[in-house]
Structure 1
Amino acid sequence: MDSLVPAFIAVLIASATDRNAWLAAILGERYRAPARLWAGIVLAQIALAAIAVGGAAMVRPMMNERSGALLLALAMLAAGMGMMFRTRQPDRLERWRLGAAINSFVGTFLLGFGERAQFLLFALAVQGPYPWLAGVGGALGSAVAIIPALMLGEAGWRALPLRAISVAGGVAFLLIGAFEMLSAIEII
């Protein structure tokens, strides 16, 4: 649980207003096939989580506790700063004719690769006691974050107070990241 729950919460917050959610809203409105879309998105999130955890497994032996804590603080600060900026609209994938499940899988995978949620998951997997549980928590968090966008469609999702949600999440990440940074360099 020490790795699962923090990864779930962090990735859920980081993914709630990102481009993957916006793409899910676009595709949800276009295809009206939420089960197939969600299946493609979940598979993409599992693949992205596996890449993050695999990278963490390679880096983890080279890190000590303090450097892992610094990495996590930087990931949180980067996520917080990223959430302060407006989200750019993703490609609408209008010319893609691969079907609901494959479009959602490929589009989500390409958009999510290297995004803030994946970097957070990488850092949590490096720092936490059970990296693979962080991967499970991160994949679940991103899969759950997509559901409102998928069900509401683009118009409904964009009607939500996305800017306020993003800023609130960003402030939370900045505060927690700053605390983690100060703790890692032993100031507090």
Structure 2
Amino acid sequence: MEAFFTTFLLTAITQAGDRAQLLCAALGQRFDRPVPLSIGVILASGAMAAIGALGGVAVGTWISLDALRLFYALSLLFAGLGMLAPRRAVDTLPGWRTGPVLTGLLGLFILQFGDKGQFIIAATAARNHDWVWPLVGGWAGMVVGLVPAIVWQAKLADWPIRSVRLGAGVVITLIGAALALGAFGLV
């Protein structure tokens, strides 16, 4: 269960103000059909979590325990630094002539492939030698971080996202750095 809670919390927090969340809000305004768009986002999030979890378990069988510790530490370190870095503008996919389910599914899948949430899921799965709980936790965290943006769209601007993003980015970066130093035996 620790793997579930870790991946849930980290993937939900790392979505705050991220490009994926902004894309979901923009697509929510564009389509004004939250249920079909949410279905596409939920399917894309599930696919991303599955790829991360299964890839993490595969990697976890190939590398040593020390390397697993470093992999987990680096996933957190880079996720935290990614939250502190300036964001690029989001392509709202205006030329796509697909409906909300397919646009949400493909748009989010393309944007999130190899993103920090997927690496956190992979690192947690590798560290725990279990793909189920990291997959479920990461998937739930992505859904909790993204679907409200579809529903609340413009109200997202009223949320203290910048503060949450900066605060969480600092905390996650520090935890990742401490774990990385520990993996090298320096702490």
The aligned amino acid for 1:144 is V
The aligned amino acid for 1:165 is V
> 1:166 aligns to what?
165
Q: CA deviation at 1:56?
A: 1.3
> 2:117 aligns to what?
117
Q: CA deviation at 1:42?
A: 0.6
- Contact 2:58–2:126, Cα closer than 8 Å, also in 1: no
CA deviation string 1:17-61 (max 9, x = no partner): 211100100011111211111111010011111111221122111
> 2:8 aligns to what?
8
Q: 3-state SS of the aligned residue for 2:120?
A: helix
Residue segments in structure 1 that go unaligned for 5+ positions in a row: none
RMSD: 1.3
TM-score (norm. length: structure 2): 0.94
- Contact 1:53–1:125, Cα closer than 8 Å, also in 2: yes
1:56-71 alignment, distance < 5 Å: 56-71=56-71
Q: CA deviation at 1:156?
A: 2.2
Question: Percent identity at matched positions?
Answer: 34
CA deviation string 1:155-183 (max 9, x = no partner): 32233232212111111111111221122
> 1:133 aligns to what?
133
- Contact 2:40–2:104, Cα closer than 8 Å, also in 1: yes
1:2-41 alignment, distance < 5 Å: 2-41=2-41
Number of aligned residues: 187
- Contact 1:2–1:129, Cα closer than 8 Å, also in 2: no
- Contact 1:4–1:136, Cα closer than 8 Å, also in 2: yes
Residue segments in structure 2 that go unaligned for 5+ positions in a row: none
